Chain A
């Protein structure tokens, strides 16, 4: 193959890829342009008088800050509960072998396969029976349960990578198992746990259906749900404001994803999901 040939082929590939990439960006163009266009509609157009009016309009406690605060409570709560339960569960599953370990691990992996949207109707019924409807803590616990299987698999993979010999040295020196977990294992898997937390946080932040079904009062709804009423109930939809709100609501997860992706995040996270 000649050098010219390589170059030609590579250009062909580049053009094909760039065209595909452009197709992926097109739907997002409306979000960006619409947010700075005070007279935005469905159509993509370069704003005639670009300005931050839309952002100013949604920057109110009722429209923006309360829903975002609720999103933060929901996502951080879910992340913390998931992480605590996953660390506790993953430690013995990583360190001791018994005939229950493998069935348990495959059992929870099977749990991740259940379509969450199918479970929402029965979950609603369950929450009614238990009188947990419209409760933020109960919604946090449910979200934590849905992200636990993945979190336990990922956390156990990280712990498996820490050599047992390190803890054994500590035990010889008289440290307890708990002390071994706290002072030896946790610091070593720290970055991995950060990845798990961020992934759970991003999922909870972006989740629409669960809070849509389980949280009824407006004062408790996260941004994912409040944005929907914004879209549906205000009569004529203020598209520019919707776009501005969407951007403000998306920025935190985009930033968090960038943090994870900067490391070996992609392959790391997917190794938990795909290779099992």
Chain B
């Protein structure tokens, strides 16, 4: 009977319920709530905390006029492009390629060093990076040996410091992705090319990279999404300063909501970030579908 068949169908999927409820309440809920709250003047404390008023698109109008927004967007793009797309991605690929041609013990040792920065808790990595770049930190000590005058990196070039720190912290992910991708490249292909007289660079450019292009695209998408969300590293190293010089979108959203107590406005900033993430997420899913045979 169709009715009982349907009942059975529903009962079969009953165990999905706890997971579905958790996802709806704690992930989908906040996203929907963000759209709503960004249209109110909800505050952290005081009158507007308990009874937020509907203000329509005021927050977004204010956001469009806020001089920090273009700066923050530009810094976010710089951070993602510099540390994820260029830094982590290229360095991760280079490491993975070199590791296949190095002695196993070297490759294992270096792999452990790179992964260590990645496995450490976020906040510990952030402290270590802060100490490394601070005025009397390790970097200045090393450069001092070479005769370079002492610089306060976190104040003079905050973005360069957080970009380098994020490369240090995140390269392991790309390295692991590319190591697994490269081990899937058929050896006959590169050997045949070698027989035909192709040099190492040619083999990399015309054989290896085209074969793993799916992994490259996926990795680019994932490191972009991860880097878009980085907060702790920047917060500990520079707190977004000096003079908003390293205020990426997550830092801006946090400051508006929690430092200045304007939840409504902070949520509007967060909504912009959610939309950017959603665009990349949709592109990522599309990519995965295309890769599936």
The verdict on B191 contacting chain A, using a C-beta distance below 8 Å, is: no
The verdict on A257 contacting chain B, using a C-beta distance below 8 Å, is: yes
The verdict on A213 contacting chain B, using a C-beta distance below 8 Å, is: yes
Q: Contacts A16-B98, A119-B34 hold; do A141 and B232 have CB atoms under 8 A apart?
A: no
Most buried by B among A28, A121, A249, A253: A121
**Assembly CA distance A121 to B115 (angstroms):** 31
**Assembly CA distance A118 to B276 (angstroms):** 10
Task: Determine whether the beta carbon of A27 is less than 8 Å from that of B285.
Answer: no
Task: Determine whether the beta carbon of A149 is less than 8 Å from that of B23.
Answer: yes
What DSSP secondary structure best describes chain B's contact surface? helix
Q: Which residues of A contact B49 (CB under 8 A)?
A: 128
Chain B 99-141 per-residue mask, 1 if CB under 8 angstroms from chain A, else 0: 1011100110110011111011111100111011011111001
Task: Determine whether the beta carbon of B138 is less than 8 Å from that of A29.
Answer: yes
The verdict on A18 contacting chain B, using a C-beta distance below 8 Å, is: yes
Q: Contacts A117-B231, A146-B26 hold; do A122 and B102 have CB atoms under 8 A apart?
A: no
Q: Which residues of A contact B258 (CB under 8 A)?
A: 121, 124, 213
Task: Determine whether the beta carbon of A28 is less than 8 Å from that of B122.
Answer: no
Task: Determine whether the beta carbon of B37 is less than 8 Å from that of A122.
Answer: yes
- Min CB distance, B50 to chain A, in Å? 9
- Min CB distance, B216 to chain A, in Å? 11
Q: Contacts A10-B101, A30-B138 hold; do A91 and B114 have CB atoms under 8 A apart?
A: no
Of all chain B residues, the one with the shortest Cβ separation from A149 is B23
Most buried by B among A31, A114, A242: A114
The verdict on A52 contacting chain B, using a C-beta distance below 8 Å, is: no
Task: Determine whether the beta carbon of A42 is less than 8 Å from that of B136.
Answer: yes
**Assembly CA distance A31 to B277 (angstroms):** 34
Query: On chain B, which size bracket covers the interface?
Result: 35 or more
- Min CB distance, A67 to chain B, in Å? 12
Chain B 1-28 per-residue mask, 1 if CB under 8 angstroms from chain A, else 0: 0000000010011011011101101111
Task: Determine whether the beta carbon of A85 is less than 8 Å from that of B22.
Answer: yes
Across the interface, B253 reaches (CB within 8 A) one of A29, A30, A43, A121, namely: A121
Task: Determine whether the beta carbon of B19 is less than 8 Å from that of A250.
Answer: no
Chain B 270-287 per-residue mask, 1 if CB under 8 angstroms from chain A, else 0: 110110111011101100
Q: Which of A56-64, A164-172, A182-190, A203-211 contacts B (4 or more CB under 8 A)?
A: A203-211
The verdict on A228 contacting chain B, using a C-beta distance below 8 Å, is: yes
Task: Determine whether the beta carbon of B123 is less than 8 Å from that of A120.
Answer: no
The verdict on A3 contacting chain B, using a C-beta distance below 8 Å, is: no
Q: Which residues of B contact A113 (CB under 8 A)?
A: 225, 277-278, 280-281, 284-285
The verdict on B242 contacting chain A, using a C-beta distance below 8 Å, is: no
Across the interface, B131 reaches (CB within 8 A) one of A42, A112, A144, A207, namely: A42
**Assembly CA distance A29 to B128 (angstroms):** 9
- Min CB distance, B86 to chain A, in Å? 16
- Min CB distance, A275 to chain B, in Å? 8
Q: Contacts A113-B225, A114-B281, A266-B176 hold; do A209 and B110 have CB atoms under 8 A apart?
A: no
Some 27 contacts from A to B, beta carbons below 8 A apart, are A10-B101, A17-B95, A17-B110, A21-B109, A28-B120, A43-B137, A85-B22, A96-B12, A109-B288, A110-B285, A114-B278, A117-B229, A118-B253, A119-B27, A121-B263, A124-B263, A125-B37, A145-B23, A145-B26, A148-B23, A209-B232, A213-B258, A250-B121, A254-B120, A266-B176, A266-B179, A270-B180
- A residues within 8 Å of B by Cβ? 9-10, 13-14, 16-18, 20-31, 34, 41-44, 81, 84-86, 88-89, 91-93, 96, 98, 100, 104, 106, 108-126, 128, 141-142, 144-146, 148-149, 152, 202, 205-209, 213, 224, 227-228, 231, 239, 242, 246, 249-250, 253-254, 257, 261, 266-267, 270-271, 273-276
15 new A-B pairs (CB below 8 Å) besides A27-B138, A42-B134, A257-B119? Answer: A16-B98, A17-B106, A21-B114, A30-B131, A30-B137, A43-B137, A86-B19, A88-B16, A89-B15, A117-B230, A121-B263, A122-B37, A126-B29, A206-B122, A266-B179
